[in-house]
Structure 1
Amino acid sequence: MLRTVPDVGKIFLLIKAKNKEAAIHRLKTEILELELFKCLEQMHGKSFKAFMMRKLVPVVRNVCESNLGMDPYTANEIAKEVDVIINSAANTTFDERYDVALNTNTSGPSRLLGFAKKCKKLSLFLHVSTAYVNGERQGLIMEKPFHMGQTIAEESATSESPPESIPVLDIIAEIELASDLKFSMHENVVAQKMIALGLQRANIFGWQNTYVFTKAMGEMLLNSMRGDIPVVIIRPSVIESSIKEPFPGWIQGIKMLDPLILSYGKGRLPGFLGDPKAVIDVVPLDMVVNSSIAAIAKHGITAKPELNVYHVGSSAVKQLLLHDLFKFSCNHFTCSPLMNLKRTNIRINEMKFFNSMDNFASYI
């Protein structure tokens, strides 16, 4: 946005930190130093840091606290200026503690929405979710919001497991369940029990893991509480490195598919348990960003009090099969092999796929 829409006034960055000085330090060391901004640095030259510090305003916050952890004066000043809010804060650990994931992924967005209602100039609230809130649904999934209490298990009910056999999803009850368990057990075992509880509750209602379950409940709360606030929910699939902007191949850290690809390149993953024809939906991060900006432009101008959902993925247009993913990886590491500690090239073979744990275990 700073590159393509340089006339933007200010971007308030809510940063988790002890105090304002710590937030400024994180902005300067963890954000401005990123390779991502090299093109902006080339554009602005010596005035780069001054430009960035003029546009980016670090604000100490915590989505797990009331009023986002901001002091009243700061909150009021920001509320006077903000016209678009983008929420991308999330705990993405698949098997996170249930209480932790609920606090961040379910209650967090609603806390930010509560602040949004104080912003007099607000024209849009954009929430970054995930395509996998759709759980274990099959086939073409429409871009529709969740309503309170909606479950994947109920939609998938059959005569063998009728809807009446599925418990009702009550988000407040889920939060109380996690809270009661947390305070009823010894701290030495509570973490393990919380992880197990999250996975159990997710599976009961039709979601694969705690992450996507709590993200889905976060969407439900937004839809229920939004009132007249215009809301857009973006649901990207697996986000990987940029395809074009600001330059090809950028990503911060090791994400999603990267650990699998790197393990394969290091010769540590010669076989894989799974269907080689399974579709892996991957989308470049700049396409997700561009989709978000386009949604902001479209719905921020009209500012209609409605909720719109957009799926951002690739498999509906160009499918990537699991077999092809590792075939491309094999070609890459054959041409550009990684090196071991002895500084010699690591040789790899084509990935082998297995359809049973017994066969996979015996091979590995």
Structure 2
Amino acid sequence: MTFLESIDFENLPSIPDYYRGKTVFMTGGTGFLGKVLIEKLLYSCPDLDRIYLLLRPKKGMNPEQRLSAIYASNCFDRLREERPNIFESKVFFIAGDCGELRLGLSEEDRALLINRTHIIYHAAASVRFDDPLKASVKLNLRGTIEMIELANHVQNLECFVHVSTSYANTNRNLIEEVMYPAHDNWRELLNICEDIDDHTLNVLTPKYIGGMPNTYVFVKQLAEHVVYEQKGKLPVVITRPSVVVASISEPVPGWMGNFNGPIGLIIASSKGILHTVYGDPKITADYIPVDVAIKSFVVASWIRGTKKLEKTDDVPIYNTCNGSMGFRVTNEEIFLLGHDTIASYPLDNMIWSVGGTITSNKSIHYIKILLLHVLPALFLDTLLWIFGKKTMVLKIQRRIYSANVALQLFLTKEWTFSNKNYLSLRSKIKEVDKQHFFYIMENIDIREYFKDAIIGARRYLLHEKDENLPKARVHYKRVTLLDKIVRTLFYSYIFWKVIHTNFVRNLFVNVL
């Protein structure tokens, strides 16, 4: 339960009015969700005072350079056009690291955040499923602990939004908006990761995480308990996005920030490097467009932030997912929709024709891996080696295989997500705010959505130019024709070999 029923919404300020003059502190600002959240706040709540982003040095870039790189993203094209200079005047970095004690903050920056912050979004996380347990604990658990510790000192804190995942309780078939018993004691886990050497911990990890599929979901569920323990002490909110996919409309249709999710599979198959995926073709995964998720984050912070904290307040939990809203598409349909769209919007420099099927038969899957992934990769790498180029195709195929293994549970099992609180949340949006913050998925045209998503992937992930489409279409026709020729020759050869076997010869002799 939440406290939505007890609030007098008529007397609440609008969402932009609530954010007027407020200071936001955010982790995860460099990520997919983080960028869209920054853009949405600046675009729809332009009178907020400022946004502080926790940034650490990475890949030879200092925090200031990383802040510039964030704004260079296509995600902020709408801001540059309609609200020029707002990013530079309202977004600032705070040097630190979620994986460090006290977030790696200087005393000056810590004091700044304690004195100025009103709203905190904790969205930083390592979403790699194959992270060692110690690495996942360092960012996904330790980071949450340090953020909560900081929040307890913030003088004017009105809301703390913790971004979790709908898949934190994959050991259940029905996942509701409640706090389930912890998989383990998070304090003991923290001590174990600090006391045991890396090798021993890696050996023990499968037994330690029990029935959970990977370290990510295991640790994220424990991090929820770190937040939930602040019930009645801090104005906390837990949001659980499912599989976050390309935007419906904001900041532009089809915007996306990574290759995760179904679009990554479509892109790989459309480049001609992915031809088989192990999974159940008939199951339906739960997808949430990024702009739908972000709108609900902002609405949740508005409702929590406008209510005075009381000791009896429970922690609102929102399964930020499709649930029963109608955005339903099977694994098999994703490939079919992708292939149909790619025929009109092909990718540049396709290695082979568009392929890719999903199968639940492991034997067929491994045969296809050998014939369609490994052998062609060895052939292409040999050609690259002969011409003095860097070999890479087999390495790419290894990554694809590893990704498929990590995703197997999510491609072969279906969960039921209850999102009653999430739907109730949108019903509380004031009329004046609906244009900017109301989220709906019931009327999405699935075919049009995937078309926008693939076009968005071309532009924003692969950085392919629209003016290259005519050339890409010509190349698409060539490789498609070549694929048909090769297939015809291959099956003709197989047919020729079969009819010349002794068994077939004897069969014809007996029949005649």
What is the TM-score when the length of structure 1 is the normalising length?
Answer: 0.83
1:82 aligns with 2:117: yes
Task: Flag structure 1 segments of 5+ consecutive residues without an equivalent.
Answer: 152-168
Q: What's 2:318 paired with? A: 310
CA shift, 1:180, in A, is 3.0
Q: What's 2:257 paired with? A: 252
> Which letter maps to 1:123?
E
- Measured against aligned partners, the alpha-carbon deviations of 1:75-113 in whole angstroms (never above 9, x if no partner) come to 112211111110001111101011111111112111101
1:337 aligns with 2:346: yes
Q: What's 1:142 paired with? A: 176
Q: Secondary structure at the match of 2:52?
A: strand
Q: Secondary structure at the match of 1:347?
A: coil
> Which letter maps to 1:357?
K
- Measured against aligned partners, the alpha-carbon deviations of 1:39-67 in whole angstroms (never above 9, x if no partner) come to 1111244xx2xx32321121001112222
Q: Does the CA contact (< 8 Å) of 1:96 and 1:210 recur in 2?
A: yes
Q: What's 1:43 paired with? A: 82
Go from structure 1 to structure 2 and tell me whether the alpha carbon gap of 1:55 and 1:352 turns closer, same or farther (over 3 Å shift): closer
Q: Secondary structure at the match of 2:81?
A: helix
CA distance in 1, matches of 2:142, 2:231: 14
| More helix per residue | 2
> Which letter maps to 1:214?
V
Q: Secondary structure at the match of 2:82?
A: helix
1:321-336 equivalence runs, <5 A: 321-336=330-345
CA distance in 2, matches of 1:171, 1:177: 10
Q: Does the CA contact (< 8 Å) of 1:106 and 1:215 recur in 2?
A: yes
Q: What's 1:347 paired with? A: 353
Larger displacement relative to structure 2 (124-133 or 295-304)? 295-304
CA distance in 2, matches of 1:253, 1:352: 22
Go from structure 1 to structure 2 and tell me whether the alpha carbon gap of 1:275 and 1:44 turns closer, same or farther (over 3 Å shift): closer
Q: Secondary structure at the match of 2:294?
A: helix
CA shift, 1:230, in A, is 1.1
Larger radius of gyration: 2
CA distance in 2, matches of 1:201, 1:267: 39
- Measured against aligned partners, the alpha-carbon deviations of 1:229-264 in whole angstroms (never above 9, x if no partner) come to 011011001111111111111112322333322221
What is the TM-score when the length of structure 2 is the normalising length?
Answer: 0.60
> Which letter maps to 1:201?
Y
Q: Secondary structure at the match of 1:125?
A: strand
Q: Does the CA contact (< 8 Å) of 1:234 and 1:292 recur in 2?
A: yes
CA shift, 1:175, in A, is 2.4
Go from structure 1 to structure 2 and tell me whether the alpha carbon gap of 1:12 and 1:26 turns closer, same or farther (over 3 Å shift): same
CA distance in 2, matches of 1:22, 1:251: 24
> Which letter maps to 1:236?
P
- Measured against aligned partners, the alpha-carbon deviations of 1:286-345 in whole angstroms (never above 9, x if no partner) come to 111101001011111004343111011124222221111111111112222334468xxx
Q: Secondary structure at the match of 2:319?
A: strand
Q: Does the CA contact (< 8 Å) of 2:141 and 2:219 recur in 1?
A: yes
Q: What's 2:107 paired with? A: 72
Q: Does the CA contact (< 8 Å) of 1:101 and 1:211 recur in 2?
A: yes
Q: Does the CA contact (< 8 Å) of 1:14 and 1:60 recur in 2?
A: yes
The equivalent position to 2:220 in structure 1, one of 212, 215, 224, is 215
Q: What's 2:165 paired with? A: 130
Go from structure 1 to structure 2 and tell me whether the alpha carbon gap of 1:16 and 1:115 turns closer, same or farther (over 3 Å shift): same
> Which letter maps to 2:152?
K
| Pairs aligned (count) | 323
CA distance in 2, matches of 1:71, 1:267: 49
CA distance in 1, matches of 2:354, 2:89: 49
- Measured against aligned partners, the alpha-carbon deviations of 1:128-176 in whole angstroms (never above 9, x if no partner) come to 011100212113x2101245xx33xxxxxxxxxxxxxxxxx22222223
Q: Secondary structure at the match of 1:7?
A: coil
Task: Flag structure 2 segments of 5+ consecutive residues without an equivalent.
Answer: 1-40, 370-512
Go from structure 1 to structure 2 and tell me whether the alpha carbon gap of 1:304 and 1:362 turns closer, same or farther (over 3 Å shift): same
Q: What's 1:363 paired with? A: 368
CA distance in 2, matches of 1:120, 1:361: 58
